[in-house]
Homo-oligomer: A and B are copies of this chain.
Amino acid sequence: MNPYCVATYRCYDEKADFAKKAISIAVGLTVGSWTDMPEAKKAEMERHLGKVVRVDVHEPVGAGGTVSERYADIQIAYPDANFSKDIPALLVTVFGKLSMDGRIKLIDLSFSQDFISAFPGPKFGIQGVRNLLGVHDRPLLMSIFKSVIGHDISALREQFYLQAAGGVDLIKDDEILFENPLTPIEKRVEACLEAAAQAKRETGQELLYAVNLTGSTFGLIDQARKAIAHGANALLFNVLAYGFDALSELSRHPDIKVPIMAHPALAGAFYPSTYHGISANVLLGKLMRLAGADLVLFPSPYGSVVMPREENMAIKEVLLTEQASRYIYTGSGGPASREDNAALPLKTSFPVPSAGIHPGLVPLILKDFGDQVIVNAGGGVHGHPMGAIAGGQAFRQAIDACQAGIPLQDYATAEHPELQAAVKLWGIKE
């Protein structure tokens, strides 16, 4: 069998013949035309022809039903023979022109074994990040700077120290901090890692600082090299501003010997619409992992900037899954093949649900995500009534409580004043 990559679309239309539309996609986006092709030519072109895998039409049902508009989920298999093994080629093939053709959203992508084998995936993955930190037995804790623009190196260093001293495992740059005269990347890295070393003497903890990789596209490798030469032990990257291929090439580059954290900036231009765009599980899930993100940020379902819980769970599933079947297309129908049950040849990526996180949400986060998650807070650390150090500590205490199976309200006592103060301010949500 020829290898295929498979795209699933949700199309809304009041009266379209969806079966016909599916055929027009399968032919139009591959060989161009088919029925009027001479038979001899057909034999030769067969390996380039797209296939309709499935068309599920959902007719609207009356009041009380779940389908209010007519739509169909259409699944098309595209022969690998038609595109090079990179994400731009795949996306342009499956959703280049088609993205502009009416109310249509790309809701899933599966790859062939061949295609996926061209991607080394995350260089570190969850296990690698845990190894760097020496932490294997609990969810990790990350914090983000409060405000950085217009501040100088010493202000950043101070903010960094307070976060590190509270016991966080990772600190990330603000994604809107670019190269600037006050805090250029090399000075920022040096000052912050010095603060990390100072905190380590007190906490005994390792720490990763994800510094924002920005600037010209063709200069990204050099900029990363510079950051790493000055000690950077992780990178933050605004993937969607540069395209998935830039991430894919950074992550596989031998000089980039540090984990890469993918920021979802601009993702809201793609995923929230019902009728258009690319769904979050593809955009912030499968493609991020395929392109090699070791950690992936996305809007949590808990805060002010929110993504629905089911979309969060779909992202989690594809970042954490070990089985190939969710990623690799092995032909439609029939019993699960050997490949379906094979291990996915990509390391897992850490899910980092972000925005609106306070210590009282930790039980809910761990219930939703399990232990393979990074609890990520900004205001929940800096806004702690006893200061940012206490903010980090309160989170660590909340994680400890959950790990020990103790309800948060029972742990938030005078014995753990930092958690107590946090819970008093923000409450507990379970």
A-side residues, CB < 8 A to B, are 29-33, 44-45, 47-48, 81-84, 86-89, 91-93, 95-101, 103-104, 106, 146-150, 175-176, 178-180, 214-218, 220-221, 238, 241-243, 245-246, 249, 263-270, 272-273, 275-278, 299, 304-305, 307
Contact = CB atoms under 8 A, between A and B. Distances in A.
Nearest to A103: B272
A215 B84 contact: yes
A178 B30 CA distance: 12
Given A218-B249, A269-B270, 16 more contacts: A31-B150, A48-B149, A82-B180, A84-B215, A96-B241, A96-B263, A97-B265, A99-B268, A217-B249, A218-B218, A241-B243, A242-B243, A269-B269, A269-B277, A270-B277, A277-B277
Nearest to A41: B150
Contacts of A88: 214, 217, 238, 241-242
Nearest to A88: B241
Contacts of A106: 269
Given A175-B92, A217-B245, A100 B149 contact: no
Of A84, A91, A245, chain B has the most CB atoms within 10 Å of the CB of A245
Contacts of A147: 31-33
Contacts of A99: 265-269
Q: How many copies does the complex hold?
A: 2
Contacts of A48: 149-150
Contacts of A91: 241, 265-266
Given A268-B276, A269-B270, A93 B150 contact: no
Nearest to A104: B268
A179 B97 contact: no
A270 B100 CA distance: 9
Contact of A218 (B98, B221, B273, B276): B221
25 contacts: A29-B176, A30-B149, A31-B147, A31-B149, A31-B150, A48-B150, A81-B180, A82-B176, A82-B178, A84-B215, A88-B214, A88-B241, A92-B266, A96-B263, A96-B265, A96-B266, A97-B175, A99-B266, A100-B307, A217-B245, A218-B218, A243-B243, A273-B275, A276-B276, A277-B277
A269 B149 contact: no
A98 B268 contact: yes
Contacts of A89: 178, 214-215
A269 B214 CA distance: 24
In order of increasing CB-CB distance, the 4 nearest A-B pairs are A32-B147, A99-B268, A96-B265, A100-B268
Contact of A270 (B176, B238, B270): B270
B175 A305 contact: no
A249 B92 contact: no
A180 B84 contact: yes
Contacts of A84: 178-180, 214-215
Residue with the highest number of chain B CB atoms closer than 10 Å, among A29, A32, A98, A246: A32
B31 A95 contact: no
Nearest to A274: B273
